[in-house]
Amino acid sequence: MLREVGLFIIVSMLLTTLVLLYLPTKFLFAQETVCGEGFTMSREDLGITEGALVSRNMRVKLLLEIRVNGFYSNNMSDAYLFAIPEKIYKGSLEKTLPYLEKEEVLRLLKDNAVGFAKVRKLSFDRLESDTINLVLEDPLILLLYIEGNTTQTVSPPSTPPTMPVPPPGIHYCFVVGTKIVIENEQLIRAADIAVIGLAIFIAGDLRSEDSWLKKLKSYARKIKPGEPKQE
Amino acid sequence: MRPRILLHSSYILGRLSKELAAAMAGLAIIQVIFLSMMAPRMAIRVTLYPQPGYVAYPQPPPMMLAPVLGITGFLYAMLTVAMGAQMGLELERGDSALYLSHPISRLSYVASWIIASIFIPSLMFFFSLIIPILILEPHLLLGVGGGEIALILLQVSTSGSIVLLTAALFKKRSLALAVGIFEYLMAPILLTLIAAIITFTTHTTPSAGNMLWIALLYPYNYYMMFGYLGANWMGAAIVNMPVFSMLTALLLAYTRWGFEVK
């Protein structure tokens, strides 16, 4: 019985390793989306939304693709999506940003971000950013930075639009794509499991009456290399 | 010297090893493909950044393994039911008389079937689930899906014990197989219908506590269906375990005192 269990562990480990080596790198990419509305900080020259918090559940190497899309009815002169480590943002930036000039806010955000991307305004008040590619190390906060007067809200157009327009203000969705990278750590763990499975298999096989290993040994004794086969 | 129960279990497994190995390898590959597809989603958590005055509403427990267990749990259950029904075939054909003519007691004979048809498939199913998780990230085992794995093992083991009891009582493979399939596939649907009719006629909103009776035989289904109402996996397991133990004890007691072979 131990032999069957050991054999199953080895087979299961081999299948797992093959699938994990091949699939996650080739095809698999999960996407998580969180949506919200409104500014955390709005002034006459800029506005910031503290949109999403990205943290890890697994200690594996994770490649992220982050972007934002949404709607904003006011005019904007410039906009960026920032990914900033939560520790840095909560430690100092969060408190100091409201008291800084526009240029200083932007410089500080760019200096502390692990990644940032330009956000463009498209037709029908749509917002869309480029993609930030990064390796997730520490928990991240995703911020949307918009230059322009964010204290006023423009009322929706009186003529019926060709597509539904959301209520005035900002509406955003952060999209986070994740890819797992299999590293040596995982392969070492697979090897550990293989050793355990092999030990169980050998222990079980040697104890069983029809031992496969003993049969193999006696078969190897019968057929020695270079010796002609007997009729 | 090895106990006779283990010897006979090994013998049963040896006879069914090809089918068992093929089924389990199939299960393992389905599980690992599904798990690796879900792994990126399980790997990160993306939430709205909490603002001042933000109220976090209670969320239902994340049932991470539900898509995997939905498919492989069914295959595992069918395998357990089919293996349990094999005992009925032995009793029907009279092969069991041959085995029992050897120095093996009736109790050991049935106990070895419990090991071969419930314990070993459960162990292999458990391994096929935890090996990918262990390779990817052992930490995940503590947080994600532990309750789900325990409940599906309990649910299928309960079905397995019902099949063995039917096989021992009626000594018919086809009947044991039919009872197993009915118990695992049809009865949950009927019970859900009954629950729906009761709640409709009494104009009450079901709560997780009111529906705990479903967990007597189907702890995993109960957890899946009423998780959004706050169903607790531990509660479902505690309700099911006495039923599983009682069925197994009943099987062993019947074997000890009322079991006869042709």
Judge whether B107 lies within some domain: yes
Q: Provide the mean pLDDT of chain A.
A: 80
Count of domains observed in chain B: 1
- What pLDDT does A107 receive? 86
* B170 located within any domain: yes
Q: Write out the H or E segment, with its range, that includes residue A44.
A: none
Q: How sure is the predictor about B180, in pLDDT bands with cuts at 50, 70 and 90?
A: very high
The answer to whether A38 and A167 are in contact (CB under 8 A) is: no
Of all residues in chain B, what percent carry a pLDDT higher than 90? 18
Q: What is the pLDDT of residues B53-64, one digit of tens each?
A: 555 555 555 666
> What was the pLDDT predicted at A195?
92
Residue A149: both structure tokens together: 């007067």
More confident residue, A218 or A163: A218
CB distance B44 to A136 below 8 Å: yes
How close B68 comes to chain A (CA, Å)? 14
Q: Is the pLDDT of residue A161 over 70?
A: no
- What's the pLDDT score for residue B163? 93
Considering A131-145, B117-131, B235-249, the range whose residues carry the highest mean pLDDT is: B235-249
List, in order of start, the domains of chain A with CATH numbers: 2-21+186-223 (no CATH), 38-180 (2.60.120)
Is pLDDT at B130 greater than 90 in this prediction?
Answer: no
Q: B44 in a domain, yes or no?
A: yes
Q: Is residue B37 part of a domain?
A: yes
Beta-carbon contacts of residue B156 (< 8 Å; ≥ 6 apart): B73, B76, B77, B80, B121, B122, B125, B184
Note whether A57 contacts B140, CB cutoff 8 Å: yes
- In this prediction, residue B255 carries a pLDDT of 85
Q: Does B6 touch chain A (CB under 8 A)?
A: yes
Residues of chain B with Cβ-Cβ distance to A20 below 8 Å are 32, 36, 132, 135-136
CB contact under 8 A, B37 and A23: yes
Q: How many whole angstroms from its chain centre is CA A19?
A: 19
| Chain A residues lying within 8 Å of B51, measured CB to CB | 40, 50
Task: Tell whether the model's pLDDT for residue B218 goes beyond 60.
Answer: yes
B251 part of a folded domain: yes
> In whole angstroms, what is the distance from residue B74 CA to residue B185 CA?
9
Range of the domain at B177: 4-257
Kindly list the residues from chain B whose CB atom is less than 8 angstroms away from the CB atom of residue A28: 36-37, 39-40
Which tokens hold the place of A91?
């430690």
**Is B262 domain-assigned?**
no
Task: Work out the angle at residue B186's Cα, subtended by the Cα atoms of residues B180 and B190, and round it to the nearest 5 degrees.
Answer: 135
Q: Do B120 and A24 touch (CB under 8 A)?
A: no
Q: Quote the DSSP letter at residue A36.
A: E
